[in-house]
Amino acid sequence: MSSPIVNPATPVATTTATVPSQVQFPWKATLRTIIAMIVSCVVVLILIIPVGLDTFGPYMSADVQGKATWILGVLVTIAAFFTRIMAIPQVNALLTKLGLGATKP
């Protein structure tokens, strides 16, 4: 096989360690997590809760859907909190050492 021809005038990408976007823009990562969690929760509220109420409705109190909505809101808040914590450079460095960081190991 032949090697690809490289134009000497074309800059070649180097493999330097860059700061991941989650660490550079922690609030964007947090906002992405919030949006993903809200979309997931909406799917749960629209599709899964009604099936559960139809199936288990006679055995549950009337305010189960309200409590489920509240619980999903708490889960969104917790996910956003931990996303923000994991975007702290020192935490990301520890996670990278464990193979769970935002950069390639």
pLDDT digits (tens, 9 = 90+) for 74-102: 888 898 898 888 888 898 888 888 888 87
Q: Is the pLDDT of residue 46 over 60?
A: yes
> What does the domain layout of the chain look like in residue ranges?
25-54+64-97
pTM: 0.60
Q: Tell me the C-alpha distance between 105 and 103, whole Å.
A: 6
- 8 pLDDT band, cuts 50/70/90, is low
Could you give the CA distance from residue 10 to residue 72 in angstroms, rounded to a whole number?
A: 51
Which amino acid, 105?
Answer: P
In this prediction, residue 90 carries a pLDDT of 92
